Amino acid sequence: MDPVADNKALVLFSGGQDSTVCLAWALEGFDHVETIGFSYGQRHAVEMERRLAVRDALRDGFPGWAARLGDDHVVDASVLGALADTALTDDRAIALQADGLPNTFVPGRNLAFFTFAAATGYRRGLSHLVGGMGEADFSGYPDCRDDTLKSLQVTLGLGMGRRFIIHTPLMWRDKAAIWALSHDLGGDAFVDLVVEATHTCYAGDRATRHPWGYGCGECPACELRARGWERWREGGPA
Ligand code: ZN
């Protein structure tokens, strides 16, 4: 198999906090960075709407990164919503299922996303694929695990006859450590951008402003984001 010939990355980018930090991380480390997003009938399309706002804010506020930020790609993955019986795509309350997984689980979602990303990277000449999955704040999603994604990297390389490197810079960072990484990457200006422009709330609330950003403050995503913010601001152990 050929060695990786380029220093170009494709970031799985939803407009949420984690993928925005991954995008900044990639813009620091690669010569050229493109973004890819997936529309699949999410309960609230707020994150999809935030994608372009975040890209614009990055371009306006960070000239060094702007020079490396390339095209955006949006893939219609609505077939996932049709296949999955999940609270992420239906209008149902979020809860734990009998198998211990949250009912927001879309089976195989990240496997599909990375496969679509690799196909796009193949066409665009981008060998480095970057995603915001992590095991630190355990979500219970088996396709967020480090072993799953390392295995997928091997499979994609074999199946496409070309080497791809999957990067997951947040894999072992909890939410407090992700806020700290945001500050390391772009200082207060980038932390402000994450607070103002990114969206994480499952309820799609962009009316209520907290110190850590917009959201209902009560859903699991808001709770994680708020708790991480508080721990990072306190400077205590993550
Ligand atoms: Zn919320």
Domain ranges of the chain: 3-199
Query: Which CATH number does 3-199 carry?
Result: 3.40.50.620
Question: Higher confidence at residue 238 or residue 206?
Answer: 206
pLDDT, residue 79, reads 85
pLDDT over 90 at 171, yes or no: yes
Cα-to-centroid distance, 219 and ligand 1 (Å): 4
pLDDT confidence of residue 88? 56
Q: Taking the model in full, what pTM does it have?
A: 0.90
CA dist 181 and 196 (Å) reads 17
The confidence score (pLDDT) of residue 78 equals 84
* Residue 16's pLDDT band (cuts 50, 70, 90): very high
Gap from CA of 95 to ligand 1 centroid (Å): 14
pLDDT band at 3 (very low <50, low <70, confident <90, very high): low
CA 221 to ligand 1 center in whole angstroms: 6
Residue 238 has a pLDDT of 46
- Expressed in angstroms and rounded, the spacing between residue 235 Cα and the centre of ligand 1 is 24
